[in-house]
Chains A and B, each alone.
Chain A
Amino acid sequence: GAGVSQSPSNKVTEKGKDVELRCDPISGHTALYWYRQSLGQGLEFLIYFQGNSAPDKSGLPSDRFSAERTGGSVSTLTIQRTQQEDSAVYLCASSQGGGVHREQYFGPGTRLTVT
């Protein structure tokens, strides 16, 4: 079956521009996560969606970051007024519900470069 897909795979943008990153989770997975991977910070949690519940936004680094999930499936992560420190690989993952024992399956990531 299809895995988690993300687009674009690479994005180069100028400082100050807005960007949108897309994630399409595995069909039937109700939980969706966004993580960020950078050289200095390792892998960091950003935001979590579970069904129709309010998202857990506790990992978003600033109010320039936002995300939505439409129809319980596709998610879009938006970064406004990008800064150079936003350069990183943005990874999306999905799982069959929450809970500590569910493995998460990751997409290939979007490499964002802010110039």
Chain B
Amino acid sequence: AQKITQTQPGMFVQEKEAVTLDCTYDTSDPSYGLFWYKQPSSGEMIFLIYQGSYDQQNATEGRYSLNFQKARKSANLVISASQLGDSAMYFCAMRDAYSGAGSYQLTFGKGTKLSVIP
């Protein structure tokens, strides 16, 4: 079964508007971490934001916030006041106790390509 699902292959947003990128996950482990990464055309994976399964508050980092709905197993990324430089691929990822033989490697979704329109 797919552990991370990103249902939006591509999204468009007007500059200065907010946009939500969807991510749902599947795990039976009560302890897990959720991560969002940005991958611009240059190829580097840039860490954006982290949410722990026991965190009571939604994570925020500057213009990025994570809408964490634990019961729905949803961890959507919200980007406020979009900028042209936000155009990139965005990946949702998870680590749980089942992520490998103690390695806790990241399991990634297939990504969402965000295009910001001037």
Q: Are A42 and B43 in contact (CB under 8 A)?
A: no
Residue A103, interface by CB 8 Å: yes
With A56-B100, A100-B33 in contact, is A106–B91 under 8 Å at CB? no
**Which A residues are CB-close (under 8 A) to B110?**
42
Majority DSSP secondary structure for residues of B touching A: loop
How many residues of chain B have a CB within 8 Å of chain A? 32
**Which A residues are CB-close (under 8 A) to B1?**
none
With A42-B108, A100-B33 in contact, is A48–B103 under 8 Å at CB? yes
Q: Are B111 and A42 in contact (CB under 8 A)?
A: yes
With A45-B106, A106-B44, A111-B43 in contact, is A101–B50 under 8 Å at CB? yes
Binds B, one of A15-23, A61-69, A70-78, A91-99: A91-99
**Which A residues are CB-close (under 8 A) to B96?**
100
Tell me, rounded to whole Å, the shortest Cβ–Cβ distance linking B60 to chain A: 15
Residue B7, interface by CB 8 Å: no
Q: Are A43 and B108 in contact (CB under 8 A)?
A: yes
In the complex, residue of chain A having the shortest beta-carbon distance to the beta carbon of B32: A100
Residue from A91, A101, A111 within 8 A of B45 (CB atoms): A91
In the complex, residue of chain A having the shortest beta-carbon distance to the beta carbon of B109: A42
In the complex, residue of chain B having the shortest beta-carbon distance to the beta carbon of A45: B105
Residue B12, interface by CB 8 Å: no
- Sample of 12 more A-B contacts, CB < 8 Å, known A42-B110, A56-B100: A33-B103, A42-B109, A48-B105, A56-B102, A56-B103, A91-B45, A100-B97, A100-B99, A101-B33, A102-B95, A106-B45, A108-B43
